[in-house]
Amino acid sequence: MTIIRKQDFIDSVAESLQFISYYHPLDFVTAMAEAYEKEQSIAAKDAIAQILINSRMCAQGLRPICQDTGIITAFVKVGMNVQWDSDLTVQEMVDEGVRRAYTNPDNPLRASIVADPNGARKNTKDNTPAVVHIDLVAGDKVEIMVAAKGGGSENKSKMVMLNPSDSVAEWVLKTLPTMGAGWCPPGMVGIGIGGTAEKAAVMAKESLMDPVDIQDLIAKGAENADEELRLELMDGINKLGIGAQGLGGLTTVLDVKVKSCPTHAASKPVVMIPNCAATRHAHFHLDGSGPAVLTPPKLEDWPEITWDVGDNVRRVDVNKVTKEEVATWKMGETVLLNGKILTGRDAAHKRIKEYLEQGKPFPNGVDFNGRFIYYVGPVDAVRDEAVGPAGPTTSTRMDKFTDMMLEETGLMGMIGKAERGPATVDSIAKHQSVYLMAVGGAAYLVSKAIKNAKVVAFEDLGMEAIYEFEVEDMPVTVAVDADGNSAHQQGPAIWKAKIEELDAKLSK
């Protein structure tokens, strides 16, 4: 009989969550480095470079890979011969580990969990509760897998009840392009097939805990239907040309995972869940001898990659830039922003809307006229930082507010992650505005361009408050220009055609 002590369990969870906040799994780093080497799209290659440089910086500085430090999912498999020395349930122990990890003063992690999701949506302040799946299994150990899943990728999860004769691959290849780039490709895609609706979802999520090993499967060949599907989807998804950050390129996924189980004869439930470029998970066992020991990777395991802004860069003073100048910026150009920008995301935009509807003046320091807004919810600063990791959030969530912001506040431009919807692209063109894209998954790298940060409004919203950032050479890409040209529409289309052309040449 193995005795598992409460403190060992809590300490292991807390340490593992800190560990995965700043260390990418090395299998993921290796796969990203291989994708970087073969990528031919300049925009996608630049994005992968920033992600890999950010990953190495986080490993050195022990700071979060992404500002969205995720909702915690834990799979806890408890051996039947385990005895607990604890006055807390497994859920309570996991939550205490999460609480300690996310409030660690040396590396505080962003609290993103809100209670009363259909009501007040009040932040719980410590990122609890976690989502915990508990299984009783044979043996005398406790196996724990933890993951920190960002909202941008989790929000792109898809579920369908197919007919038994329907093709899973066909559904995936039809559905994945509708997910846009808010899940921050390249990453992994997990597929759960069978059981019931909720079982398929759990299998899809658990599959993402496995290492990147598709190249091993390619080398040995498929031995069952699930492995055949992995290979078919790996090839088919990458031929879509979506590419890194949705800008068009050769690599959209690094691996495809599939888990299945028996189901009803009339059913074929399928769930697809993507993992982003901030893939964060850890796997360990407790055997009664003490807390888990996680071995840090070596910095030399990261590829030596440098990133250059290129020759077509524009260095811009956002304090002085005019609307006429912004209208000359072209899709795909790199812009280095200097000066003061405001931040704001979902909750702030909702409150701005309420102010406008009620005819109330904005708080002091909030004036969007002729300014840029950055969609971000940063991590708290430590030591000499102006702000913690501060990468962009998914911009489509702000689409419904764009007309309002451009028409009623005098906003000049927006900065965020991934594509904008068709109506928003039209609004940007109508108002001769611009949408700029920062790289999702490079939050620590982006934060180094922020030299000063202060909350100017809605402090009660926590990480969703409005900040004023003073930035120096903050790198962004013109994703939608004033003529309505969209990099996320044109890039994947161009690269899908290029891949088809390449395949045609190779098949001759």
Cβ atoms 375, 368 nearer than 8 A: no
The pLDDT assigned to 311 comes to 67
Residues 101 and 168 in one domain: no
pLDDT of 100 above 70:
yes
The pLDDT assigned to 73 comes to 98
Residue 498 covered by a domain? no
Report, as an integer, the average pLDDT of 159-163: 98
Residues 326 and 470 in one domain: yes
The pLDDT assigned to 29 comes to 96
Look up residue 498 and give its two tokens: 């290029």
What are the backbone dihedrals phi and psi of residue 36, each rounded to the nearest 5 degrees, phi first?
Answer: -60, -45
Which residues lie across from 452 on neighbouring strands? 470
Per residue in 10-46, pLDDT (tens digit) is: 999 999 999 999 999 999 999 999 999 999 999 999 9
Where in the sequence is the domain holding 452, given as residue range(s)? 314-491
Percent of the chain with pLDDT over 70: 99
Residue 32 covered by a domain? no
CA dist 192 and 202 (Å) reads 7
Cβ atoms 175, 387 nearer than 8 A: no
The pLDDT assigned to 502 comes to 79
Sign of the alpha-carbon dihedral angle for 485, 502, 305, 311: negative
Distances in Å between the Cα of 202 and the Cα atoms of 46, 125, 191, 207, 267 are 34, 26, 10, 9, 17
The pLDDT assigned to 296 comes to 94
CA dist 248 and 31 (Å) reads 18
Residues 365 and 404 in one domain: yes
Residues 303 and 322 in one domain: no
The pLDDT assigned to 508 comes to 67
Report, as an integer, the average pLDDT of 117-146: 97
The pLDDT assigned to 504 comes to 78
Residues 179 and 253 in one domain: yes
- Mind spelling out the 3-state secondary structure of 74-98? EEEEEECCEEEECCCCHHHHHHHHH
What's the CATH code of the domain at 197? Answer: 3.30.1330
How many domains in the chain?
Answer: 3
Look up residue 415 and give its two tokens: 């900065």
Residues 408 and 325 in one domain: yes
Per residue in 261-294, pLDDT (tens digit) is: 999 999 999 999 999 998 999 999 999 999 999 9
Percent of the chain with pLDDT over 90: 95
Residues 375 and 472 in one domain: yes
